């Protein structure tokens, strides 16, 4: 009975986190809330198991089985499907790689730390807990090597921990047992590329690209496989091929979403490099002044947006990057419209603004860094925006 309640409780945690996620998502605080909930409940359940064992109401074998199931459910939960990004070549341009890849949630889980009640370094405690669970999963798989889902979970976990060579081994074992799983092959290719790149940008040429192409044979619309295939083409300067792969992603993401805008930016850049005529739009460069450079962290979010000179204050188009990628060559066009009725091309004159957001929120806040252009045509091609003001 205890085993039933333990498993049910872990499933309830996963459902609760999913339902409450829109309420909890407020920049960095969302990751803390989700992590605190998961670890706190997980610890409570473990304490209950230990108490039952000490009281003699639960056999040692049942306690170990329940503990193993709790750990596995928790790993599954923190690796829940999210949208991930990739960078074509070394250009630092974000590319959406699909909604089925469990990277963002698990990464935040590892980086944010433990609940406030934990003493000492919370990040170290959280990382140690995840490492311990991953190591126990690996040990269980040595005794149960035919657990395909277990090998996939282990591969994902190793990838998030940066242990790419071990991730490759885990994915290889899963692929032997599930050779027609397109998502698995895409994850396998990604880990192999990262292992070959020493954990840096990765290298998709050769065997990783073959795995990606095999994934696309099995599932032509697999978002991560399409993204990686485009990145591989971009790496070898086949820009037309990269654009073609990335364009195939657009029908499978929400029109006007951040994902769609990011993909369209990459398509436009690849077409431009291929010599094709890029989509009409507003282009230019964003940089940050020397005086403010030390006030921004490399991972701070940068929003680039256009507003009508004579019109509503709502942004007409928005792009997003990081401080580390400045100077940033931007392109804003109608595919990035916030609403279908508010397209960039509908307004002859606009102002382009760039804002470094410390919180990651699009709304301006005191302490943010900002710069704006003079009024320009909505199809101008050489707009220069310098971030040179700190908001009060």
DSSP notation for 206-255? THHHHHHHHHHHH-TT-HHHHHHHHHHHHHTT-HHHHHHHHHTTGGGS-T
Burial of 291 (0-12, 13-18, 19+ CB in 10 A): exposed
| Structure-token match 């073609």, residue found | 244
Q: Is residue 230 part of a domain?
A: yes
**Residue 27, in any domain of the structure:** no
pTM for the whole structure: 0.52
Q: Is residue 299 part of a domain?
A: yes
Q: Which two structure tokens, joined as six digits, stand for 200?
A: 């840096």
Q: pLDDT at position 359, please?
A: 86
Whether the pLDDT of residue 216 is over 90: the answer is: yes
Residue 277: per-residue pLDDT: 60
Per the structure, the complete domain to which residue 317 belongs is given by 282-390
Is the domain of 252 the same as that of 311?
no
pLDDT band for position 202 (cuts 50, 70, 90): low
Q: At what angle do helices 164-177 and 148-160 cross, to 10 degrees?
A: 160
Can you tell me the distance from the alpha carbon of 269 to that of 246, in angstroms, rounded to the nearest whole number? Answer: 11
Tell me what pLDDT residue 345 has.
Answer: 87
Kindly state whether residue 191 falls inside one of the protein's structural domains. Answer: yes
Q: Is residue 8 part of a domain?
A: no
What is the number of other CB atoms lying within 10 angstroms of the CB of residue 341? Answer: 7
Residues 188 and 269 in one domain: yes
**Cis? peptide before 366, omega within 30° of 0:** no
The overall average pLDDT reported for the chain is 76
Pick the more confident residue, 71 or 189: 189
Is 288 in the same domain as 266?
Answer: no
Instruction: State whether 294 and 230 are in the same domain.
Output: no
The closest of 123, 104, 115, 129 to 35, measured between CA atoms, is: 115
> Is the per-residue pLDDT at 68 higher than 60?
yes
Q: For residue 79, is pLDDT > 80?
A: no
Per-residue pLDDT reduced to its tens digit, 118-170: 345 555 545 677 788 888 889 999 989 999 999 999 999 898 888 999 999 99
Where does the pLDDT of residue 25 fall: very low under 50, low under 70, confident under 90, or very high at 90 and above? very low
- Do the bridges between strand 282-288 and strand 383-387 make them parallel or antiparallel, or are there none, so unpaired? parallel
**Of the candidates 241, 257, 274, which is a domain's last residue?**
274
* Shared-domain flag, residues 85 and 222: yes
Instruction: Find residue 390's DSSP bridge partners.
Output: 369
Give the 3-state secondary structure of residue 152.
helix
Q: What is the pLDDT at residue 83?
A: 41
Contact partners, residue 221, CB within 8 Å, separation at least 6: 248, 252
pLDDT of residue 192: 93
Which range among 70-84, 253-267, 330-344 shows the weakest confidence by mean pLDDT? 70-84
Dihedral, CA of residue 201, residue 242, residue 192 and residue 254, to nearest 10: 90
Q: Which of 204, 239, 274 is the last residue of a domain?
A: 274
Q: Do residue 99 and residue 147 come from a single domain?
A: yes
* Residue 137 domain flag: yes
User: Measured between alpha carbons, how far is 290 from 83 in angstroms, rounded to an integer?
Assistant: 34
Based on the domain organization, do 189 and 299 belong to the same domain? no
Same-domain status, 98 and 245: yes
Q: Say whether both 288 and 178 belong to one domain.
A: no
Q: Tens digit of pLDDT for each residue in 37-53?
A: 555 555 566 666 666 66
Which CATH number does the domain housing residue 383 bear? 2.60.40
């Amino acid at each position: 009975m205890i085993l039933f309640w333990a498993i049910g409780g872990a499933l309830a945690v996963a459902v609760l986190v999913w339902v409450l996620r829109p309420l909890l998502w407020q920049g960095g605080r969302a990751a803390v809330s989700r992590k605190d909930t998961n670890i706190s409940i997980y610890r409570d359940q473990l304490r209950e198991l230990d108490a039952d064992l000490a009281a003699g109401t639960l056999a040692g074998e049942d306690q170990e089985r329940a503990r193993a199931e709790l750990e596995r459910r928790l790993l599954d939960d923190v690796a829940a499907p999210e949208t991930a990004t990739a960078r074509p070549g070394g250009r630092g341009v974000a590319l959406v790689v699909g909604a089925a890849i469990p990277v963002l949630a698990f990464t935040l889980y590892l980086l944010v730390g433990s609940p406030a009640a934990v003493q000492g370094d919370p990040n170290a405690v959280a990382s140690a807990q995840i490492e311990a669970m991953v190591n126990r999963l690996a040990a269980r798989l040595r005794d149960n090597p035919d657990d395909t889902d277990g090998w996939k979970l282990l591969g994902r976990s190793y990838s998030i921990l940066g242990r790419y060579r071990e991730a490759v081994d885990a994915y290889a074992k899963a692929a032997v047992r599930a050779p027609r799983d397109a998502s698995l092959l895409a994850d396998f290719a990604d880990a192999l590329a990262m292992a070959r790149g020493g954990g840096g940008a990765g290298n998709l040429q050769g065997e990783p690209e073959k795995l990606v192409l095999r994934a696309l044979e099995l599932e032509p619309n697999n978002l991560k496989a399409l993204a990686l295939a485009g990145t591989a083409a971009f790496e070898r300067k086949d820009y037309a091929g990269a654009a073609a792969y990335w364009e195939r992603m657009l029908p499978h993401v929400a029109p006007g979403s951040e994902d769609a805008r990011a993909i369209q930016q990459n398509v436009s850049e690849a077409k431009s490099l291929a010599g094709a005529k890029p989509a009409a739009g507003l282009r230019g460069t964003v940089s940050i002044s020397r005086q403010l450079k030390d006030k921004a962290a490399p991972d701070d979010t940068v929003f680039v947006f256009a507003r009508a000179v004579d019109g509503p204050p709502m942004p007409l188009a928005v792009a997003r990057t990081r401080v580390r990628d400045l100077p940033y060559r931007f392109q804003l066009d109608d595919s990035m419209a916030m609403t279908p009725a508010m397209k960039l091309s509908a307004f002859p004159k606009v102002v382009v603004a760039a804002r470094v957001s410390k919180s990651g929120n699009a709304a301006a806040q005191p302490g943010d860094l900002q710069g704006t252009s003079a009024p320009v045509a909505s199809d101008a091609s050489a707009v220069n925006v310098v971030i040179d003001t700190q908001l009060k």
